[in-house]
Amino acid sequence: MPVAAPVPAATPVPAATPVPIPPLPQGAHPEIVYLGEVAAERQAEIRAVTLDAMSFFDGRFGGLATDFTLYVVNDEAARSEKMTQVLGADPGLQCGLAEGSVAFVQEWCALSSIPHEYFHVLQHMWAPDGADAPSDTGWPRGPWWLTEGSAEYAEMRLGEAVRADAGFHRAWMRMRERASGREPASLRDLESYVPSSATTPYDVAAVAVDWLVERTGEDALIEYYRVLPESADWRSAFLSVFGMTVDEFYAGFAEHRTAIARPERDVRGVVLKPDGEPVNGWRYTVWASPRDPGGPKDNYAVSFDGSFRLRLEDGSYDLQVTARCGEKYVALGWYAGESGLLDREYAEPVVVSGPDVAPVEIELQALPPEFDPRCDFGPRRAVRGAVSGPDGEPLCGIDVYAWDRDHSGAFGRDSDVTQEDGTFVLHLPDGVFRVSLVAWTNQRLRIPAWADEYDVKPDSFVTVDGADIAGIEISVPVSPDDENLGPDFVLDAFAGGVVAPDEPGEGTSRSCG
């Protein structure tokens, strides 16, 4: 059972008072065009957010686009036609896009994207296309992270000022957490990077701009765009306005990200049947929900053999257990100590404070009545191995995935993260599985594996046949932390691979040096 510990104090949420927004000057009101049907109530919300953004940005940043036109999309055919007419081509639209004095936003995300896209309109106004300095990033006004991070920063400042509720503070703190975590790319990678759907690069960009403003002032951020047209390039403009080179800022921001990062702890446990034996075969998920909404982030772990491993920041959590039977999910309850699983109001918190967290035992008082033998996915076998780098050193923090050979099974897969000694454990049913690795580094996502989606190597398969497997050795010839690798590096072949012994063993144990 978890050892009781003082519950960490909740992060205080600063009180805020809404800032009065002055009316726009006469004749400065935007033209809002609706492409498709949009309810009158929604139109009123969209217009209010647009006017708030224009008024607030004018007062805070000294910029007002008097010829701003906003297209709100709720009809894809109309959108394609209008974009082709206005922009000369149809680039498609995920959520929002701005070009010159025009912005397009999807109706479903309009309220959150209008301030962001309108700030891009101001950036266009301060440094028009064709008038700004040459850029080596593929973006007309300098690096992607500065362009998008400034818009994210402005959007958050508007939210704090106009709404003035704790939600914006919590959103900003979550953004800081994601930007300091193990996933995100470096700013150098984000100079020309255009993410397809991930939010974390935007978080990194926003936190970088926030830190830049903290060091140099908000006026400098706007001045950068004003001086850009007269500068030799964006790096020269950066140096002249912010008083530091780009490389100096990158080095300082890397240290800043480390300083604001919250360490994650291993929290391990097991789900037990009424007879005290671990549940084996059913698909359980253990969800960790922080008691402080503004505190640590939530997380979850999936288990087929009853054991689970969560990576949690310091804080106080309630644990919920759910199970899956076919396509149906069943909420079994919240961890309540020796009482098993109950409603959340009776939940016993699991407190994470420091690296040593006692194992958590969750005992089912009775097997779920919703379940029958069809929900049993069969016994799982322990598949153990280790991942090493080019010099034989263990690689820590590598995600190891096992998929059905044909990639079609819904439940025949598992994953683990390598420990300090490079070891991992997968729990798999009988069958043939394709194993791949994923490494998150400061350079972006890498896939150092001997199998990829298009070229599967024969020795990437692991066959499970009625017994545990140990001693799998995976050798990666290029370190995922190699600074000489470009951000798009994908390793899809190497000498070496899997060595699965005929008889189960204990595997190899090494230490991170």
Residues 311-356: tens digit of each pLDDT: 888 889 999 998 876 556 778 889 999 888 889 999 999 999 887 7
∠ CA 197-203-207, rounded to 5°:
160
Exposed e or buried b per residue across 373-388, where buried means at least 16 C-beta atoms within 10 angstroms of its C-beta: eebebeebbbbbbbbb
Q: How sure is the predictor about 478, in pLDDT bands with cuts at 50, 70 and 90?
A: low
> Angle formed by the axes of helices 40-61 and 110-126, to 10°?
40
pLDDT for position 483: 52
Rounded distance, CA 513 to CA 391, Å? 12
> Average pLDDT of 305-314?
84
> Average pLDDT of 296-305?
77
Q: Is a pLDDT exceeding 90 seen at residue 53? A: yes
Taking the mean position of all CA atoms in its chain, how far away is CA 494? 29
pLDDT for position 334: 93
Rounded distance, CA 150 to CA 135, Å? 17
Question: Of 55-64, 274-283, 457-466, where does mean pLDDT reach its minimum?
Answer: 457-466
Q: Is a pLDDT exceeding 80 seen at residue 68? A: yes
Task: Tell me how many helices (H) and strands (E) the chain has.
Answer: 9, 21
Residue 105 corresponds to which tokens in the numbers above? 């936003």
Rounded distance, CA 186 to CA 258, Å? 12
**pLDDT top residue among 364 and 219:** 219
Q: Is a pLDDT exceeding 50 seen at residue 489? A: no
Q: CA nearest 79: which of 53, 97, 66? A: 97
> Average pLDDT of 177-181?
59
Q: Is a pLDDT exceeding 70 seen at residue 395? A: yes
- Residue 166 main-chain phi, psi, to 5 deg: -65, -20
pLDDT in tens, 408-449: 444 446 778 788 888 988 878 788 887 877 665 443 344 444
C-beta separation of 216 from 253 below 8 A? no
> Average pLDDT of 280-295?
79
Question: Of 49-53, 415-419, 466-470, 484-488, where does mean pLDDT reach its minimum?
Answer: 484-488
Rounded distance, CA 482 to CA 441, Å? 10
**pLDDT top residue among 408 and 463:** 463
> Average pLDDT of 71-76?
95
pLDDT for position 190: 84
How many other β-carbons are positioned within 10 Å of the β-carbon of residue 73? Answer: 24
Q: CA nearest 284: which of 385, 350, 367? A: 367
Residue 282 corresponds to which tokens in the numbers above? 């059913």
Question: Of 174-178, 325-329, 503-507, where does mean pLDDT reach its minimum?
Answer: 503-507
C-beta separation of 38 from 72 below 8 A? yes
Q: Is a pLDDT exceeding 50 seen at residue 451? A: no
Residue 370 corresponds to which tokens in the numbers above? 């919703």
Rounded distance, CA 10 to CA 291, Å? 9
pLDDT for position 142: 86
List, in order, residues 6 or more apart from 176 with CB less than 8 Å away. Answer: 203, 207, 260
Strand locations in 442-481 (E):
444-446, 461-464, 469-475
Q: Is a pLDDT exceeding 90 seen at residue 154? A: yes
Count CA atoms within 13 Å of residue 266 on its CB side.
Answer: 13
- Report the length, in residues, of the chain: 513
pLDDT in tens, 203-212: 888 889 999 9
Residue 297 corresponds to which tokens in the numbers above? 């982030």
Residue 468 corresponds to which tokens in the numbers above? 């545990």
> Average pLDDT of 1-8?
34
- Residue 165 main-chain phi, psi, to 5 deg: -115, 165
C-beta separation of 481 from 441 below 8 A? yes
Q: Are strands 381-388 and 469-475 parallel, antiparallel or unpaired?
A: parallel
List, in order, residues 6 or more apart from 469 with CB less than 8 Å away. Answer: 381, 382, 383, 384, 462, 500, 501, 504
Mean pLDDT taken over the chain: 76
pLDDT for position 82: 96
pLDDT for position 130: 59
Q: What is the pTM of this model?
A: 0.58
C-beta separation of 200 from 179 below 8 A? yes
Q: Is a pLDDT exceeding 90 seen at residue 78? A: yes
> Angle formed by the axes of helices 110-126 and 218-227, to 10°?
50
